[in-house]
Structure formats: structure tokens, C-alpha cells
Amino acid sequence: MSARHSLPRSIAAHGILITYTLIALFPVFVIVINSFKSRQAIFREPLALPTRETFDLIGFQTVLAQGDFFQYFQNSMIVTVASLFFVLLFGAMAAFALSEYRFRGNSLMGLYLALGIMIPIRLGTVAILQLMVATGLVNTLTALVLVYTAQGLPLAIFILSEFMRNVSDDLKNAGRIDGLSEYRIFFRLVLPLVRPAMATVAVFTMIPIWNDLWFPLILAPSEPTKTITLGSQVFIGQFVTNWNAVLAALSLAIVPVMVLYLIFSRQLIRGITAGAVK
């Protein structure tokens, strides 16, 4: 048995990973169990599982009775999916151009695009708001999609261009000799080979967008354009907080990201271990 697979080592590794998983999942677990309990039960024993006496769906009822909740959900979903689509599309195209073509200012352009990783887009909030007011995009989902696309692009370009550099030149050249256009080479030959990297980028892009409160609050606070994170804020008052509703809304908000994550996760794992396993 090789040293890499010895029993004590693998027990230790699993022990550490399981401990970490439990710690990471604990807050989520507490939120979910408490969303099924009555208000008194939440405060009396926050860590207890819901029992027959304490089980209560009042939180979910409140949230769903709030009426516009599905609307908020839908808004969040539209904004996230649309932003994700544009980030992946434009990010991959820019990464392909940077990694594939030699042109003047190539590395300067790469550096400029990577700058966005280090400088938070929120620093430009005032300018963005002025821009949106000027273009009449305030209180539209388009405003959010535009901002999130800009926010997600730097990291996407950075990660994807690294991966695209590793795609075989011979393959692209074979396509050129066979008469494929540069677009066909990009979509049919290169993109499928960087799919794991695309999934990685998708997950890292999607979660901050879904969870963001800042830009929905500033750019699209109107009732028809509220996102789920912003919509949930109605239950948090200055004096009274409807904890049942807050916890239920949070529990519900986990579901869509979970679904998206599951879609990408198979690819994601391949992306993370790419190179390590041949």
C-alpha cells in the first residue's frame, strides 16, 4: 500500500474535511430548522429540532401571503441567469481573444481587464447611478444585469484565459486548415474543452449576484423589480423583526442557487481537479 493511501492518513483527511463540512453547514442547518418552528420555540431553544408542539409553518405562510414574493423570486432568477449568461459569453470571448491572438496592447488589455478583480465595483456606485438615471434605466432589471455583467467579467476573463492557453494549438490550427471560421473554432472546439472552467466561473459569479443587496437597493428598489434579498428585508423592522418570515424567506432563497449549483457541480469538481488527475 502506498504512503498516499495509508489508512491513518485517509482517516485524518476525512476527519478534517467532515469537521469542516459540519462547521460550514451548521448555520444553514439552524436557519432551516428554525424556519419550521413557532416564534416562542425559536427563542426558547434555537438549536432544537422542530417537534410536534413547536412545528409551525407560520413563517412560510407569511412569506407566501406577502403576495409579491414569487415576483421577487422571478426577478432574482432573471437577473442571475441573464448576468451569468453574459458573463460567460463575453468573458469566454474576451479570454479567447487575449489567449489566441497576438495584437498590439494584448498584455496591457489583459492587465486592464484583470484590474477589476482588485477594485470593487461598488466604488463606482455614484457614477453608475448617475449613468442609470441619465439612460433611464433606474428601476429596471436591465440595470442590474448590466452592472453584474461588468462585475463578473474580470474574474471570468482571468480564469478562462488561463484555461484557454492550455487548449491545444494544433486542434485550432487543424480547424483553420479544414476551413472552420474563428467563431466555429471558438464555439465548437474550444468552449467544450474549457467547460469545467466555465462551470467554476459560473458558480463564483452566480453566488455574489444572487446574494447582493447593494445594487438592488440603489438601482432597482421599486416593487416590481425587487429581488429576493431585497424583498426579504420587509420582515426586518427597526423595532420588530418577524423572525419566522425572515428565516423562511432565507430558507426558500437557498433553493434556486442549490439547483443551479447542482447543475454546475459535476463540471466544477472536474475543473478544480483538472491537471491533478489525468
Partner 1 sequence: MSALTLSNVTKTFGTTEVITGVDLDVEPGEFCVFVGPSGCGKSTLLRMIAGLEDVTSGDVKIDDRRVNDVAPAKREIAMVFQSYALYPHLTVRDNMGLALKQAGTSRADITAATDKASAMLGLDPLIDRRPSELSGGQRQRVAIGRAIVRRPKLFLFDEPLSNLDAALRVATRIEIARLHRELGATMIYVTHDQVEAMTLADKIVVLRAGRVEQVGPPMELYNDPANTFVAGFIGSPQMNFLKSGPLGLSSAQMGIRPEHLEISTEAGQIAGKISHVEKLGGETLVYVLTEDHGLLTVRLFGEHDYQVDAPVWLTPDAARAFHFDEHGQRLRPGESSAAGRATP
Q: Which residues bind partner 1 (CB under 8 A)?
A: 168, 170-171, 173-180, 188-189, 192-193
Residue 231 Cβ vs partner 1, minimum distance, rounded to whole Å:
43
Q: Give helix then strand counts, H and E, for the chain.
A: 14, 0
Residue 122 or 176: which CB sits closer to partner 1?
A: 176
Instruction: In whole angstroms, give the CA distance from residue 71 to residue 58.
Output: 20
Closest CA to 91 of 19, 156, 140: 156
User: Which residue reads 481587464 in cell numbers?
Assistant: 113
Residue 87 Cβ vs partner 1, minimum distance, rounded to whole Å:
24
Residue 37 or 172: which CB sits closer to partner 1?
A: 172
Closest CA to 152 of 195, 100, 63, 91: 91
Residue 67 or 105: which CB sits closer to partner 1?
A: 105
Residue 10 or 106: which CB sits closer to partner 1?
A: 106
Residue 68 or 100: which CB sits closer to partner 1?
A: 100
Instruction: In whole angstroms, give the CA distance from residue 252 to residue 232.
Output: 10
User: Which residue reads 431553544 in cell numbers?
Assistant: 45
Q: Which backbone phi and psi does 241 adopt, to 5 degrees?
A: -115, 130
The residues facing 236 across adjacent strands are: 241
User: Which residue reads 444585469 in cell numbers?
Assistant: 145
